[in-house]
């Protein structure tokens, strides 16, 4: 059974690779995997949205 949740973090500079790395670190910390990631908008001090799933 997969449990999926959303995580939002504020990055200094949000572009594809920085958001992907931030989501990957969050997923590894919680022993999960990243299903989706995206910046809410590109620029300085913007939000990075992650969808992370953990197997039970």
Per-residue model confidence (pLDDT) at position 37: 97
Q: Provide the domain count of the chain.
A: 1
Along the 56 residues of the chain, how does pLDDT read in single tens digits? 899 999 999 999 999 899 999 999 999 999 999 999 999 987 889 999 999 999 98
pTM: 0.87
23-50 b/e (C-beta count within 10 Å ≥ 16 → b) = beebbeeeebbbeebebeeeeeebebbb
Containing structural domain, residue 12: 2-55
């Amino acid at each position: 059974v997969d449990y999926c949740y959303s995580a939002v973090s504020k990055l200094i500079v949000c572009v594809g690779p920085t958001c992907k790395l931030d989501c990957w670190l969050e997923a590894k910390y919680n022993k999960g995997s990243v299903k989706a990631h995206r910046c809410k908008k590109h620029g300085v001090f913007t939000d990075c949205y992650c969808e992370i799933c953990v197997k039970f």
